[in-house]
């Protein structure tokens, strides 16, 4: 495809590793067939005839990944935040999610969410929808039209939720999940949007439903990976509840594992992990399960501070989630600064031996760290400009006075990145490319 072969010039920053940025002032990025052919201080002769897009003086960064966000909760973000998780679900989340029975309302709300995501720094997202199949397919179609790369999950929930937002039985939940998997296969035109199994969390799903989902993951995963997402160890009351619901399991993570839902039959991603036991960390590592760290949500819902330094030292796979509407901001730049800030509080108040995150580490988590989930789940590597990665890029005109980001100081590229992170740039994206196609 010719439009996916081009050169971009600008001030380029990306991660080499969790501790190391690579910066290139007035450098070149080459996109061939939607994939990066690498970054170069000067354009190699072989690419001289490609179309060039000059973003001189602007920052060019890899696209970010939001590993955990609830699309139907976008409408009530920043409302009713004076509650902890279980009350917040009952009072805010469940009544709003019930409205997605109505496709007209779903179209309105999802339209706003998708447009905000398109304008955000995220090129990729792992998304919870609701239990409603038609509204979930509608969301997938809108995301496809916007050109983003996403995993989207129709929720499963058949117990401990209000009658107006509960699937009748495990059998009904499983058969509507099958129907949704078939529909997402037949209705979507591109390979950018894929389904992800989404049991809400253990309290919302019967044993029979959880076992059935493990079977579905195995069955559908024979053709191509079918990943799974859920919530793990977010809130202390929730954890106590799970102990009562699964008395035979050693831990919360162990309960998912006992049902076969912890990386056995395909990639898995768990949001939060605020209160992990040592053996849960070991199990997460052994199974290659991804953690979506959601610092703003964990603050808003008074859940706690996840031990991210321990996760990194244990070599776990980790990225950032906005968790809208537990979190209120859709910007992964904001998730980076939140991650740094809560880690500073954790070090100061709780665990002096757990060193706070630095800028390089937080940027890595929001870009290459989260991007690695997409590779594991068969959607291409992203999050840096290494040759062979999908070409996902952001262009930000941070020095333009109208950006609200300009400064009279003489700044290095690292300085400019630090300001984007701490100022939580969101609506300031001037251009955005996903798999080599311009979506903004």
Is 144 near ligand GUN (CB under 6 A)?
no
Which string of x and - marks every residue 349-368 that binds Fe ion (by CB under 5 A)? --------------------
In whole angstroms, give the CA distance from residue 374 to residue 361.
Answer: 19
CA nearest 316: which of 268, 256, 359, 380?
Answer: 268
How many whole angstroms separate alpha carbon 314 and alpha carbon 113?
35
When asked if residue 380 is in the footprint of ligand GUN (CB under 6 A), the reply is: no
Nearer to Fe ion, 305 or 405 (CB): 305
Please say whether the beta carbons of 299 and 328 come within 8 A.
no
Count of chain residues binding Fe ion (CB under 5 A): 2
Binds ligand GUN by CB under 6 A, chosen from 14, 35, 58, 70:
70
CB of residue 82 vs Fe ion: minimum separation in angstroms?
A: 18
Q: Quote the radius of gyration of the chain (alpha carbons, Å).
A: 21
> Nearest residue to ligand GUN, using CB?
326
Given ligand GUN, Fe ion, none, residue 234, with its beta carbon under 5 to 8 Å by kind, binds ligand GUN
The C-alpha atoms of residue 254 and residue 33 are separated, in whole angstroms, by 43
Instruction: Determine the size of the site formed for ligand GUN (CB under 6 A).
Output: 11
Between 119 and 132, whose beta carbon lies closer to ligand GUN?
132
Q: Which is nearer to Fe ion, 7 or 205 (CB)?
A: 205
The residue among 11 and 234 lying less far from ligand GUN, judged by its C-beta, is 234
Q: Which of 29, 60, 89, 170 touches ligand GUN by CB under 6 A?
A: 89
Distance CA 417, CA 267 (A): 31
Selected range binding ligand GUN among 2-10, 28-36, 85-93, 208-216, rule: CB under 6 A: 85-93
**Which residues in 292-351 contact Fe ion (CB under 5 A)?**
323
Separation between Cα atoms, residue 270 and residue 292, nearest integer Å: 6
Using rule CB under 6 A, residue 136 touches ligand GUN: no
* Binds ligand GUN by CB under 6 A, chosen from 110, 201, 256, 311: 201
The span from the CA of 413 to the CA of 24, in Å, is: 8
Structure tokens of 200?
Answer: 């809400």
Q: How far is the CB of 200 from Fe ion (least distance, A)?
A: 9
Report the residue number, 93 or 316, with the smaller CB distance to ligand GUN: 93
Dist CA 267 CA 336 (whole Å): 24
Least distance from ligand GUN to the Cβ atom of residue 18, Å:
25
Q: Which of 119, 231, 309, 419 binds ligand GUN (CB under 6 A)?
A: 231
CB of 74 to Fe ion, least distance (A): 13
Judged by phi (left if over 0) then psi (alpha if -120 to 50, else beta), residue 373 lies in alpha
194 binds, options Fe ion, ligand GUN, none, Cβ within 5 to 8 A by partner type: none
CB of 45 to Fe ion, least distance (A): 49
Partner in contact with 150, chosen from Fe ion, ligand GUN, none, beta carbon below 5 to 8 Å by kind: none
Examine residue 66 and tell whether it contacts Fe ion (CB under 5 A). Answer: no
Nearest CB to Fe ion, comparing residues 106 and 271:
271
Q: Which of residues 274-333 bind ligand GUN (CB under 6 A)?
A: 297, 323, 326
State which residue has the least CB distance to Fe ion: 323
Binding residues (CB under 6 A) for ligand GUN: these are: 70, 85, 89, 93, 200-201, 231, 234, 297, 323, 326
Binding residues (CB under 5 A) for Fe ion: these are: 271, 323
């Amino acid at each position: 495809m010719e439009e996916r072969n081009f050169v971009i010039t600008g001030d380029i920053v990306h991660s080499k590793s969790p501790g190391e940025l690579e910066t290139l002032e007035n450098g070149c990025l080459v996109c061939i067939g939607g994939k990066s052919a690498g970054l170069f201080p000067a354009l190699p002769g072989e690419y001289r005839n490609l179309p060039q897009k000059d973003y001189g003086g602007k920052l060019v960064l890899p696209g970010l990944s939001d590993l955990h966000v609830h699309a139907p909760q976008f409408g009530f973000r920043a409302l009713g935040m004076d509650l902890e998780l279980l009350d917040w679900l009952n009072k805010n989340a469940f009544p709003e999610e019930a409205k997605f029975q109505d496709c007209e309302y779903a179209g309105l709300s999802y339209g706003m969410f998708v447009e905000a995501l398109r304008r955000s720094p995220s090129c990729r997202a792992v998304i919870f929808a609701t239990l409603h199949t038609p509204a979930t397919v509608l969301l997938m179609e809108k995301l496809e039209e916007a050109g983003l790369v996403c995993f989207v999950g129709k929720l499963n929930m058949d117990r401990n939720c209000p009658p107006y937002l509960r699937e009748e039985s495990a059998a009904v939940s499983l058969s509507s999940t099958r129907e949704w998997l078939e529909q997402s296969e037949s209705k979507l035109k591109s390979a950018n949007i894929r389904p992800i199994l989404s049991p809400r969390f253990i309290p919302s799903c019967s044993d029979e439903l959880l076992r059935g989902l493990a079977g579905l993951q195995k069955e559908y995963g024979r053709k191509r990976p079918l990943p799974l997402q859920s919530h793990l160890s977010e809130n202390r009351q929730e954890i106590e509840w799970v102990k009562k619901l699964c008395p035979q399991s050693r831990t919360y993570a162990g309960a998912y594992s006992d049902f076969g839902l912890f990386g056995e039959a395909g990639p898995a991603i768990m949001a939060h992990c605020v209160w992990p036991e040592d053996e849960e960390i070991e199990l997460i590592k052994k199974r290659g399960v991804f953690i979506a760290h959601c610092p703003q949500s964990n603050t808003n819902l008074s859940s706690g501070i996840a031990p991210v330094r321990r996760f990194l030292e244990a070599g776990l796979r980790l990225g950032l989630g906005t968790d809208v509407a537990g979190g209120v901001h859709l910007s992964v730049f904001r998730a980076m600064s939140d991650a740094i800030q809560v880690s500073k509080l954790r070090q100061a108040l709780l665990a002096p031996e757990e060193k706070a995150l630095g800028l390089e580490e937080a940027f890595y988590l929001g870009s290459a760290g989260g991007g690695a989930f997409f590779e594991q789940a068969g959607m291409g590597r992203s999050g840096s400009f290494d040759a062979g990665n999908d070409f996902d890029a952001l262009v930000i005109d941070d020095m333009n006075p109208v950006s609200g980001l300009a400064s009279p100081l003489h700044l290095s590229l690292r300085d400019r990145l630090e300001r984007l992170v701490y100022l939580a740039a969101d609506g300031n994206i001037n251009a955005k490319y996903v798999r080599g196609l311009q979506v903004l």
